[in-house]
Amino acid sequence: MKTLNEIRLLFWRKVLETLRQPIWIITGLTTPLLYLALFAPLLNGMKAMLGNGNVLNLFVPGILVLMAFGSGMGSGWIVIWELQTGVIERLRVTPASRFSLLMGSVLKDAAMFIPPAVLVILLAAVFGFELHWAGLAVLLVLLFLLTAVVSAISTSLGLILKQIGSLAAVVTGFQLPLTLLAGVLLPLSIGPQWLQIIAHFNPMYYVVEAARALAGGSLANTQVLLAFLVMLPLSVIVFAWSTGVYRKAVA
Amino acid sequence: MNNAIEIHHLTKSFPAAGRGKKAPIQAVRGISLNVAQGEIVGFLGPNGAGKTTTLRMLTTLLPIDDGQACVAGFDLKTEPQEVRRRIGHVSQLGGADLSATGRENLLLAGQLYGLSYAETSRRADELAATFELGELMPRIVRTYSGGQKRRLEVALGMLHRPAILFLDEPTTGLDPQSRAALWEQIRKLRSAGTTVFLTTHYLEEADELADRLAIMDYGRIVAEGTPRQLKQLIAGDAIVIKPRADGAIIQTIRASLAGQPYVRAVTVQKESIHLYVEDGAKSLPLVFDHLKTLNIALETVTLSQPSLDDVFLKTTGRSMRDNATKEGIQ
């Protein structure tokens, strides 16, 4: 109860902070919209290879995963800023649990991912993306979880590295291989076997596979089950680790 | 529990930066200190003396390497959570949330300590009035001036009425008026029974506020005591008397005063006699009485006290003022 109340207070602090800087919401939207406008048309030329139906059905789920990843990734930068201005230190002196300190911003990131995601889905629908509401709802839950995990990792990296430069190096170093090996832009099933084998070590791969199944309206299948079986334990491990990092954080 | 803070042989070192094997930097080298409840204790020392590191250990922000510390009756190592409930801390960085309003900052601070919204709100208004932040409350902190932000941060540290308040250079960057107002607040806290532990560069501040001072240098406490005791450590007080008499009689007076138990040393310069005594205020009447028995009239008397700057110079070999001015420019 105490923890829930703390999380609520800290969550609102972060939400207000974000709403006061709408520029970030807008720049967060530009990436998916640019992909939809400038990349999706290219896929139309590959219809023969990708199979029947609108290419957006294949492409939009990947873009949503990319958006979730991006929404979570920003928290590391903010936490470094808060370390430098003493906010983290001030919060760490309070009796609030370290888990609450972490989850306030993690849940903000995850919640803030939902509205632009819905907007992208609706916009894509105008161009022929098929809407399967039940599947999309479960997909948003899965991506909420992904955003939270990425946000917690980014926060921890920020607290450990303490320097914007080091964080940027680590994040960009991981971001490209992780997204490429998840088949975000094109399904890995059209690639060679070795690529698919490596991809199985990437948690994001399972999310992307499940995202395509869910967007297609298929709820009960192995891909969806696998994605949750990977993401749920992963989030428990990551949140526990990040709480520990918060406990030790030294400016 | 009699003592608010009990520190025993507290030690902290940091790994040295840079390549190769370097000896770790010993920031705090085994300090011991007790702070009674309701006392204002000041840590005085140059930059890098270990004041902030000590404070950060006592406020649960840094793990202790060695030694023991009890804060508000709880062991820092085993019960940091209980310690946090009972302390307030205003760090050098301050830590006000820049993208929130002053009021939002205060409301969050109180509620994180489990206070109700209504109670927090009431106290926020109270503190806003005390620190003259009233009109600033609905404004985003980013728009505050340095002094306004500092006042808010001090308010943030005391809203939950901690038993012990730690202030790390609370008045750095404040104008004289705000500084005086903050001193006033700190004294009020003490009369309400709050223990205050502060670090400062400013000798006037230490002198003005602290019941007891510890001078830190290179991670050690090099001197400790009330501001008076510390000053007496140097030379005691100086009493300069100028009798209405000529040279020969002055020498007689000198010899006579030198035999008094409260006089540590006597020197004669021209027509005046310099007496070094332990406690000037107490000795002055004794000197008067003694001179009366000798039937000597005085032309002038001055009583001067050594400043903490002298104490600092003596104990650390460096002048505090240099540090303070440098810090002011930064």
- Contact between B253 and B243 under an 8 Å Cβ cutoff? The reply is yes
Name the amino acid, one letter, at A122: L
Mapped onto helix, strand or coil, the DSSP state of residue B279 is coil
∠ Cα A89 A168 B21 (to 5°):
70
CB nearest B108 (choices: A13, A86, A95): A13
Amino acid letter, residue B175:
D
Note the pTM of the prediction, 2 decimals.
Answer: 0.83
Residues B1-49 have pLDDT tens digits of: 579 999 999 999 988 776 666 788 889 999 999 999 999 999 988 888 8
Please state, as a whole number, how many other Cβ atoms lie within 10 Å of the Cβ of residue A39: 12
> Chain B contact for A94, CB < 8 A?
yes
Contact A6/B at CB under 8 A: yes
Does the beta carbon of B156 lie under 8 angstroms from any beta carbon of chain A?
yes
Q: What are phi and psi of B288, to 5 degrees?
A: -60, -50
Contact between A104 and A87 (Cβ < 8 Å): no
| B85 touching A (Cβ < 8 Å) | yes
Structural domain count, chain A: 1
Q: How far is CA A41 from the centre of its chain?
A: 24
User: Taking CA atoms, what residue in B is nearest to A16?
Assistant: B100
Task: Give me the mean pLDDT over the A179-187 stretch.
Answer: 88
> Is A95 in contact with B156 (Cβ distance < 8 A)?
no
Contact by Cβ (8 Å): A66, A144: no
Q: Is the CB of B120 inside 8 Å of chain A's CB atoms?
A: no
User: Alpha-carbon torsion B107, A3, B95, A93, what sign?
Assistant: positive
User: To the nearest whole angstrom, how far is the Cα of B278 from the nearest Cα of chain A?
Assistant: 43
Q: CB contact, 8 Å: A89 with chain B?
A: yes
pLDDT category of residue B80 using cuts at 50, 70 and 90: very high
Q: Burial level of A22, CB count in 10 A (0-12/13-18/19+)?
A: exposed
> Cβ of A86 and B91 within 8 Å?
yes
CA geometry: angle at A69 spanning A64 and A73, to 5°? 145
Mark out the alpha helices in B192-272 (DSSP H runs). Answer: 203-209, 227-234, 247-258
Domain that holds residue A88: 2-248
Closest-CA distance of chain A to residue B289, Å: 57
Q: Taking residues A4-30, what's their average pLDDT?
A: 90
Convert the pLDDT of each residue in B255-310 to its tens digit: 888 888 888 777 777 777 878 787 888 888 888 888 888 888 888 888 876 667 66
Predicted confidence (pLDDT) at residue B63 exceeds the cutoff of 70: yes
Nearest to B186 by CA among B166, B214, B209, B162: B209
The backbone torsions φ and ψ at residue B18, rounded to the nearest 5 degrees and listed phi first, read: 100, 175
Domains annotated for chain B, with CATH where assigned, are: 3-231 (3.40.50.300), 236-304 (3.30.70.100)
The letter for the amino acid at A211 is A
Q: Which is nearest to B151 in space by CA: B159, B38, A79, B120?
A: B159
Alpha-helix residue ranges (DSSP H) falling in chain A? 2-19, 22-34, 40-44, 47-50, 56-73, 75-84, 87-93, 98-126, 133-161, 164-180, 193-199, 203-215, 222-248
Reply yes or no on whether the pLDDT at A251 is more than 60: no
Pairing of strands B66-71, B40-44: unpaired
Residues of chain A with C-beta less than 8 angstroms from the C-beta of B87: 93
Tokens (6 digits) for B245: 């008499």
